[in-house]
Structure 1
Amino acid sequence: SQLEPEAEWKARLKREQDEQVIRETQRQRMASLQARATALDSPLKVDVSEIQKNASESRTDTRQPLNAATNSASDLYAAAMKSGLLGQNVDQNGQTSKEDFFNQDIKDLGYLPNQVVPQLSPYELKRGSVIPATMITGLNSDLPGRISAQVSQNVYDSATGYRLLIPQGAKLFGRYDSKVSFGQERVLVVWTDLIFPNGSTLQIGGMSGTDAEGYGGFKDKVDRHLWRTFGSAALVAIIGTGIDMSMPESSTLARQDTASDAARRNFAESFGRVAEQTISKTLNVQPTIRIRPGYKFNILVDQDIVFPQPYRN
């Protein structure tokens, strides 16, 4: 085959380049329209002038290869989508902060800063262990107070599980919190002293009590005082109705109130204010949580406990 003349070959190459420039211009116009539509749909104002400026600068260079032109159009559309979506709260559930909390201890790769610490004694009760117990006294959250309980099962060392450290029947002494908010069903309990049957005592600081399933706090009986609350509301309504009925009826005729009308009005208003203020206080009463004697629970050991020797009576 004969080679094409050089002039025809250059003309055909020029036509191909012109067609490529036309296609690229059309893609950029479409991307600009999509970017403007995305910005208009955004709940916040999005400035696309910078995107259009970059697009106009890219049109000045008409000798870019075809793949570079395609990437420019796709990058323009991606930037527009990013500008539109960043104006919205796409992380409504705060998943990013949750991931940061979960991974805050493993951001730096490498060795653990802590090393394995051997046990100090063969008679140790490690943190994470539980001490089963049963309530001796009851608990009422209306007032703070002290409570006592009794260990219901033998507790052995954490390493072997054969050395008796806390015998069944040991006494526990603790306290509970009476600050109960509206809707609360559990009361916070901490245990401070462990008294062995042989008379020795161990102060355990303030280890928390959990129910038999491991949930924090104790839950047994909850009194929300519904009768008192709704009864007070009904009494307020009745008093308000009585006050309205006792007030003198207004008349369209111009007349002055008599002395009895004025006295009756002042008495009704004063009595109504005092009654409503007194009864409204009962509407804010906190619920009462009661833990009955015999309630079974566990003490969660949160510090390693070292005993001098196995328990001997």
Structure 2
Amino acid sequence: MKCVLPKDVRGATNNVVLLDRGTTVIGEIQRGLQQGDARVFVLWTRIETPDHALVSLASPGADELGRSGMPGTVDNHFWQRFGGAMLMSVIQGAFQAAGQYAGSSGGGSGINSFQSNAGQAVDTTLRATINVPPTLKKNQGDAVSIFVARDLDFSDVYDLRPIAVAPAPQHRQRRRDNNATGG
């Protein structure tokens, strides 16, 4: 998984651009979604700037409020998981009804054998599709958050040295003397 920073990321003092706009952040999905999950859990592992500087990250993905994981639209694949089994059940029910009708009229041995095979087919179909995991969809361009879990060391990337910052000039205001006579 990857995302691209839409704007510069600055240091704590706002004086230094640490990550330029267009920097790519690479992440790994921690585990696939399971039934009932509404978030995907991502571990952001690496940052690569447009100048190809690399920074190790190891920080979790979060939502806009800082909660762990990233929300999205979950597709539980209901029809894919149960549609075939439901159709097979309907077919099996139809043959069961036909078998009962044929049994009462004396010629149901072929239908009964088909019923047994249809029951096995429903079971096989359901077993094959019941474990389809859900998928989470997040639109491209949606904002994601990275909860930076530790201080990042940019000393290998930038050659920064502390400098003395001159204090801002003080502007003096002239004091007006109300008692003075002006000309």
Task: With the length of structure 2 as denominator, give the TM-score of the two structures.
Answer: 0.71
Partner of 1:151: 5
- 1:217-272 per-position Cα deviation (integer Å, ceiling 9, x unaligned): 12222212233345345314302312312324258xxxxx7xx6434322321232
When Rg is computed on C-alpha atoms for both structures, the one with the higher figure is 1
- List gaps (5 residues or longer) in structure 2: 161-183
Ranges in structure 1 where 5+ consecutive residues have no aligned partner: 1-146, 252-256
Q: CA deviation at 1:166?
A: 1.8
Structure 2: distance between partners of 1:155 and 1:271: 62
CA RMSD, 1 decimal: 2.6
1:280 shift after superposition: 4.7
Shift of 1:301: 0.9
2:71 is paired with a residue whose SS is: coil
* Residue matched to 2:78: 226
In structure 1, how many angstroms separate the alpha carbons of the residues matched to 2:91 and 2:159?
69
CA deviation map 1:20-58 (0-9, x unaligned): xxxxxxxxxxxxxxxxxxxxxxxxxxxxxxxxxxxxxxx
Report what 1:171 is aligned to: 24
**SS of corresponding position for 1:305:** coil
| Paired amino acid for 1:208 | P
Please report how far the alpha carbon of residue 300 of structure 1 lies from its aligned counterpart in structure 2 after TM superposition. 0.9
Q: Is it true that 1:187 corresponds to 2:40 in the alignment?
A: yes
Structure 1 counterpart of 2:19, one-letter code: I
* Alignment partners' CA distance in 2, 1:164 and 1:152: 13
Distance in 2 between the 1:197 and 1:280 partners?
Answer: 48
Q: Secondary structure at the match of 1:307?
A: coil
Aligned to 1:291: 138
Query: In 1, Cα distance between the equivalents of 2:78 and 2:110?
Result: 37
Cα distance in 2, alignment partners of residues 185 and 150 from structure 1: 24
Q: Which amino acid aligns with 2:132?
A: V
2:54 matched residue in structure 1: 201
What is the rounded CA distance, in whole Å, between the counterparts of 1:310 and 1:239 in structure 2? 73
SS in 1 for 2:39: coil
- Provide closer, same or farther for how the CA distance between residues 310 and 214 of structure 1 changes in structure 2, counting only shifts above 3 A: farther
Q: Secondary structure at the match of 2:125?
A: helix
- Alpha-carbon displacement from aligned partner over 1:97-118 (angstroms, at most 9, x marks no partner): xxxxxxxxxxxxxxxxxxxxxx
CA distance in 2 between partners of 1:175 and 1:266 (Å): 51
Matches within 5 A, 1:1-313: 147-158=1-12, 160-204=13-57, 206-229=58-81, 231-232=83-84, 234-247=86-99, 248-250=102-104, 261-308=108-155, 309=158
Q: Cα gap change, 1:279/1:249 in structure 2, threshold over 3 Å: closer, same or farther?
A: same
Partners of 1:230 and 1:310 in 2: CA distance: 60
Of Structure 1 and Structure 2, which has the larger fraction of its residues in helix?
1
Could you say what secondary structure the match of 1:295 adopts?
coil
1:310 and 1:156 map into 2 onto residues whose CA distance is 15
**Superposed CA offset, 1:185-222 (max 9, x none):** 11111211111122211122x31111222222122222
Match of residue 181 from structure 2: none
TM-score (norm 1): 0.44
Q: Matches of 2:114 and 2:39 in 1, distance apart?
A: 45
Counterpart residue identity of residue 305, structure 1: L
Residues 3, 24 of structure 2: 8 Å contact kept? yes
Contact 1:174–1:189 under 8 Å retained in 2: yes
Give yes or no for contact 2:82–2:129 (8 Å, CA) kept in 1: no
Deviation at 1:277, TM superposition (A): 2.3
